[in-house]
Amino acid sequence: MGETRHSMCSQLRARIKVRAPSGCPLTSLEVDTDHVQLLSRTIDHAGKRIDLLASKRDIPTEHDAISSEFTDGATTIYRVETDTNDCICRTVECSGIPIECVDIDEDGLYYTVYPSSRDELRTVLARLRKCAESVQLVQLTADTTVGEETSYNTIDMNRLTERQREVLRTAHRMGYFSYPRETTAEEIADALDIATSTVHKHLVAALGNLFDSLYPVDT
C-alpha cells in the first residue's frame, strides 16, 4: 500500500503596536482617534505617501500636509501627505510584508501584517524598535492546513504584562530558549537588574499565559 502524503502550509497574521512612532503625521492628529479611520494609502509619482482619512469630528488643517477633501455633513474625508523617507511606516512598507491595515491609536499605530515567516517578522520588529519608543507584538495568528483540515492558533500578547514581555523578550534575545541554552536566568536577571527568582516567576507566568491562549481549556 502506498504512503499517503498530506501537504502542509503555514501562514502568519501579526498585529504590531508601535508607541510614539517617529515622523508619522497620523499620530499627531489633534482629534479623538476613536473617530478616525484610515481609508487608503498610496504613493504618488514624486514618492510622497497620500493617506485618506475619514473622521466624524473635525481635524485641524493648519498643517500643510493635511487638507479636507470631501464631507457629507456627518463624515469628512481628509488628505494627508507625508514624505515617506521621514515616516516610520516606511520601515514596514519596505520590508516586503503585505500590510492589511494601519489603525490609529491615541499613543501610536497598529499594523496588521502577513509575514511569510517568523524570521521575517523578527526582522521588521527589530527595525521598528530602532525608530520608536516601544514596539509590541500584540497578536500572532498561524493557520496550519493539513490535507483538508485547517487549524488556527492565536498568541494573544495582551495576556502578558509589560514586565513579562520584557523578561520573555530578553530571555529569547539572549538565547535562553536555544538548544543548547546560551544564557542563564542569573545572566538575564543581571541584564534587567532584577532578582533571579523574579526572572523565573515572570517566565513561568508569561509562558503559561501564552499556552493558555494557544490551548484554551474547554468549558
* Per-residue model confidence as pLDDT tens digits over 174-209: 889 888 889 999 999 999 999 999 999 999 988 887
Of 137, 171, 197, which residue sits at a domain end?
Answer: 137
The answer, as to whether pTM is greater than 0.85, is: no
Domain extent at residue 65: 15-137
Which helix (H) or strand (E) element contains residue 122? helix 118-129
| Same domain assignment for residues 132 and 190 | no
Closest-CA residue to 198 (of 171, 172, 173): 171
**Residue 109: pLDDT above 50?**
yes
Pairwise CA distance, residues 149 & 143, whole Å: 10
Return the pLDDT at 186: 94
| Same domain assignment for residues 22 and 95 | yes
Strand 36-43: give its sheet, edge to edge.
Answer: 36-43, 48-55, 76-83, 66-71
| For range 146-167, the mean pLDDT | 70
Counting every residue written for the chain, the total comes to 219
**Residue 19: pLDDT above 60?**
yes
Return the pLDDT at 135: 85
User: What's 182's domain CATH number?
Assistant: 1.10.10
Return the pLDDT at 153: 62
| Same domain assignment for residues 61 and 117 | yes
> Is 195 domain-assigned?
yes
